[in-house]
Chain A
């Protein structure tokens, strides 16, 4: 108390002294001070210097610049013989029997793993839905675009996957591409496998997070990155406390047809406290005793995976995609998933088709065993084709056939593979090449022929296809 009064009186004293000094100062000093103060005020209030205004261009010069500027053409010209300019035309349904460019073939190209595309039950259910709801939904989920079938499908998917909640998107590609940026923001870190498919890459790009790629399926490399990050975190613990980290992997890789080592990933998850996002478009409805995907395949508890996303365009043979997991995680997308909030919802008939497909999958889990047997059969039959090597797991329904010895030029490799496909097309086997955007892919996979196995293919058909490919390889690769 005494101290404060002392201090106050001390300050008062200083003030009095200042006023006195002011009186005593010589006039030139005061004038100088005054000028300095005015100068400071001027500096404070003068207009800030803008970089753009520094150019002393006259109007005329500007007009000239505008006149002179020539933009690049909107798009570069595409030559008429570009390999992917002219699509193969499919007349009729792309089911087991498919008509490509007017030729009826056996389909080894569409991702119709379970043969549900022209399943009569699925069709009837969808038609009933169409006759009740019409085709489109005319609005996003928020604005009267939520139909009872959407709710039913979400519930059924959650039940099928044995998770708390599922959310559906109207487009397979948009599913994971919207889900990643809903959680991972600027400043967060995502560890991702080099072989990750294009929609994951786009999702990562949209998230604007730090992306760290680890070598495909190489857990040591991943752990190395995680350890590096751990060291980084120790340096800056405050930042580490708010930096979310994720591992993004695929169940069955679209680009390599092999499976991710999920049990190891889960171990790393708890060791380094990283969340796992799992893309299961190729494995949902394929792997596991009941078709629940990689988690069931490895017997990993689904609660250990933070988010699973898959599309309903492959095994389910409808359109759209879904994410599932705990409500704590999934519910967030209902306001933050861009492809969910800002897009029209899934046409109800497609949702109904997916529900019926789930019914079939639940009623008859045998179908997954049959598929696996067929895959193994095809995988075995495709071995030892001269000049071609099979890439992928024995139980993967979409395999890649790559050239054993590349010619060194991607273009000529693509042409060679195309000639093999054409040879097979002539003999009623429909195959396709795996297509990529060469310049956009982060790690471009080598060119390959995709061979898709479905439950509808008989053993004879698989034999026929493989021997056809063998003949073609002998004819075209020698």
Chain B
């Protein structure tokens, strides 16, 4: 069996019909089907419920080649051994230790850190630390200016040279719709709001920090989402961590996807509910947990659960996968659970109207009990929202930790969201928003397609603007980030603990602000670096350029 690849596809019927109606990629589908679907049947993650999807749902997670996996583990093994060696040398003062020291007066206190806690930081992360926290000094738009840093002590400290790397192509920021701008409609409106209201609020929503701007924004968000009511909060992370505890408590059960964001995990933990984790996007796993929970009740007492809350995200930012929302909703209805959908990455980035994953699948927003999302990404602002029916929002207005104890959103930030959201909705009287949405979807298709053709292993859904490219080996994390910056392209690389230990990856975020030229420049550079670092791991034969001419950028623009 050649097809070790694990591709998750729901419903061949649809692959055969819907895509065919698209015409252009029929050949490609056939090719794929011939090439290696044999693997998908083995994939127990697939839960077929074709009737609930109205479009092909193609998500691929090609299996790690065995040799690569072995070599990756070896790499970590060697790094760990050297880590111990160097720690030993540092202990005996053979090597200069750069780690900040406890002050002498407190040497006899219980150590603030366990030694092993920082082993990873000291010996692995430190080697490639220059790939993160790169300071920039411009708008985080399609191109950005990165400040050059040098280190004379192997990444322990950095010095700014004063040189700026101008116009680096930005493949790292979550600027999906390109609203990170310092001029134009949004920025001008924000300037006006700052002039009128000032920057801060100096109060909570409950205590004279409830500006008319906030109310205006909340009404607009509700309209945008298609829900009865909404509430906005000053920080996206806190929207999760401070509101989940108001919705669930002792005696409630939270079912959480294993790859949920830290804020959801923290919120669930703070709520005091029982938490059970289901396999990533795996509906069988979710259903089993739901059934067991209802049948067996709470542990020990066997009392029935008060309520069951399912936590999922729209797009998973490290996998590039899209939640199987139609199936989740079917399950939620069947088992009378409540659904909390975090659209941090999907709002604005998915769906024909930019209304997120609900819009993408053409579902009714009322089927999702709690619609949560952030304004950081697609709207180029900051903060988060929760939308839902009036009872939910009324309860949050009176009981949300955030509304009572945290300062409300800065007025110019609120204004930025209002303007950009109106633009997406077309309420500014232009089609600019719609054009951005189209551009993003085309860019996504094109970028993913080209990377796959080049032979990289790309994770995630074909429609997701988050594009993870697998690097696997720890040394390649550093090398990839540096080589790309040399070619004037800023990328994000991630490794353990953000990913499983052997699945280190680079992640690109496609933006509507990227032009074809920028994407091509980036793609060429990625290909070059890919050859240099031998990253083209994919053993799957994607159609060659010639055969996919019909799928070229311009063609895909015509729909």
Indicate if A311 sits at the interface (CB-CB under 8 A): yes
**Interface-facing stretch out of A9-17, A89-97, A368-376, A467-475:** A89-97
Contacts of B326 in A (CB 8 A): none
B108 within 8 A of A: yes
Q: How far is the CB of B419 from chain A (nearest CB, A)?
A: 10
Complex: how many Å from CA A133 to CA B412?
13
Contacts of A332 in B (CB 8 A): 112-113
Taking the nearest CB of chain B, how far is it from the CB of A181, in angstroms?
9
Q: Is the beta-carbon distance between A436 and B404 smaller than 8 angstroms?
A: yes
Contact B182 A241 (CB under 8 A): no
CB–CB A84/B397 < 8 A: yes
Q: How far is the CB of A256 from chain B (nearest CB, A)?
A: 16
**Which A338-361 residues have a C-beta within 8 angstroms of B?**
338-339, 341-344, 346-347, 349-350, 353
CA A171 – CA B391 in complex, angstroms? 27
What 1/0 flags go to B385-422 for Cβ under 8 Å of A?
00000011011111101101111001111001000000
Among A147-195, those with CB < 8 Å from B are: 147-148, 150-151, 170-174, 183
List A contacts of B292 (CB < 8 A): 52
Task: Check B404–A435 contact: CB distance below 8 A.
Answer: yes
A136 touches B382 (CB 8 A): yes
Whether B199 pairs with A138 at a CB distance below 8 angstroms is no
Known: A94-B211, A148-B137, A311-B407. A143 touches B237 (CB 8 A): no
**Is B398 a contact of A78 with CB atoms below 8 Å?**
yes
**B169 → chain A closest CB, angstroms:** 12
CA–CA, A76 to B101, complex, Å? 52
Contact pick for B198, options A117, A130, A146, A206, CB 8 Å: A117
At the interface, yes or no: B114 with Cβ under 8 Å from chain A?
yes
Q: What residues on B are CB-neighbors of A299 within 8 Å?
A: none
Choice from A52, A123, A146 contacting B296 with Cβ under 8 Å? A52
- Is the beta-carbon distance between B200 and A136 smaller than 8 angstroms? no
Q: B499 in the interface, Cβ–Cβ < 8 Å?
A: no
Residues of B within 8 A of A118 (CB): 198
Stretch at the interface among B13-21, B27-35, B303-311: B303-311
**Is A319 close to B, CB under 8 A?**
yes
Chain A residues near B392 (CB-CB < 8 A)? 74-75
Q: Is the CB of A133 within 8 A of B139?
A: yes
B411-450 vs A, Cβ < 8 Å mask (1 yes, 0 no): 1110010000000000000000000000000000000000
Q: Size band of the B side of the interface?
A: 35 or more
Q: Which of A88, A112, A342, A349: most chain B Cβ within 10 A?
A: A342
Please tell me if the beta carbons of B206 and A130 are within 8 angstroms of each other in the complex.
Answer: no
* Cross-chain contact of B173 among A144, A303, A319 (Cβ < 8 A): A144
Which of B173, B200, B396 has a CB less than 8 Å from the CB of A313?
A: B200
Task: Flag A55-74 by CB within 8 Å of B: 1 or 0 each.
Answer: 10100001001100111111
* Contact of A423 with B by CB under 8 A: no
| Chain A neighbourhood of B133, CB < 8 A | 141-142, 146, 334
Given contacts A206-B270, A335-B121, contact A147 B380 (CB under 8 A): no
What is the CB-to-nearest-CB distance from B163 to chain A, in angstroms, rounded to a whole number? 13
Residues of A within 8 A of B103 (CB): 303, 326, 328
Question: Which residue of the partner chain B has the closest CB to A122?
Answer: B199
Chain B residues near A131 (CB-CB < 8 A): 182-183, 187, 191
Check A242/B110 contact, CB under 8 A, given A126-B199, A435-B206, A437-B399.
Answer: yes
Task: Out of B102, B237, B369, name the residue touching A339 (CB < 8 Å).
Answer: B237
Distance in angstroms from A139 CB to nearest chain B CB is 5
- Report if B236 contacts A (CB, 8 A): yes
Q: Does B190 contact A (CB under 8 A)?
A: yes
Asked if B202 is an interface residue, CB under 8 A from chain A, the answer is: yes
Q: Could you say which residues of chain B place their CB within 8 Å of the CB of A117? A: 198-200, 202
A117–B412 Cα distance when bound, in Å, is 13
The residues of A that contact B108 with a CB separation of less than 8 Å are 273
Asked if A365 is an interface residue, CB under 8 A from chain B, the answer is no
| Segment at the interface with A among B39-47, B56-64, B330-338, B549-557 | B330-338
Check A328 against B102 for contact (C-beta < 8 Å): yes
Return chain B residues, CB-CB under 8 Å to A446: none
- Is the CB of B170 closer than 8 A to any CB of chain A? yes
- Whether the Cβ atoms of B416 and A437 lie closer than 8 Å is no
A172, A319, A344: the one within 8 Å of B376 (CB): A344
Please report the C-alpha to C-alpha distance between residue A239 and residue B133 in the assembled complex, in whole angstroms. 37
Query: How far is it, in angstroms, between the C-alpha of A359 and the C-alpha of B126 when the chains are bound?
Result: 35
Do residues A319 and B199 form an inter-chain contact, with CB atoms below 8 A?
yes
| CB neighbours of B195 from chain A (8 A) | 123, 127
Asked if B220 is at the interface of the complex by the 8 Å CB criterion, the answer is no
Stretch at the interface among A197-205, A290-298, A377-385: A197-205
Among candidates A136, A145, A202, residue contacting B379 with C-beta atoms closer than 8 Å: A136
Q: Select which of B210, B262, B263 is within 8 A of A89 by beta carbon.
A: B210
Given known pairs A74-B247, A147-B137, the reply for A66 and B204 (CB within 8 Å) is no
B270 with A205: CB separation less than 8 A: yes
A118 CA / B206 CA spacing, docked (Å): 21
Q: List 18 A-B contacts (CB under 8 A).
A: A66-B294, A66-B295, A72-B306, A73-B391, A74-B392, A84-B397, A93-B196, A94-B202, A107-B208, A131-B183, A134-B180, A134-B187, A138-B377, A174-B235, A274-B109, A318-B200, A342-B262, A432-B208
Instruction: List 7 additional contacts besides A117-B200, A134-B380, A328-B112; criterion CB under 8 Å.
Output: A98-B208, A117-B198, A147-B135, A173-B402, A319-B201, A338-B237, A436-B404
A: residues with CB less than 8 A from B are 52, 55, 57, 62, 65-66, 69-78, 82, 84-85, 87-95, 98, 100, 107, 109-112, 117-119, 122-123, 126-127, 130-139, 141-148, 150-151, 170-174, 183, 197-199, 202, 205-206, 240-245, 270, 273-275, 303, 311, 313-314, 316-319, 326-329, 331-332, 334-335, 338-339, 341-344, 346-347, 349-350, 353, 430, 432-437, 440, 450
> What 6 A-B pairs are tightest by C-beta distance, nearest first?
A171-B235, A75-B395, A87-B210, A343-B237, A344-B376, A173-B406
Interface residues of B (CB under 8 A from A): 100-103, 105-106, 108-114, 121, 125, 132-141, 144, 146-147, 170, 172-175, 179-183, 186-187, 190-191, 194-212, 215, 234-238, 241-242, 246-247, 261-263, 266, 269-270, 291-292, 294-296, 304-308, 334-338, 369-370, 374-377, 379-382, 391-392, 394-399, 401-402, 404-407, 410-413, 416, 490, 492
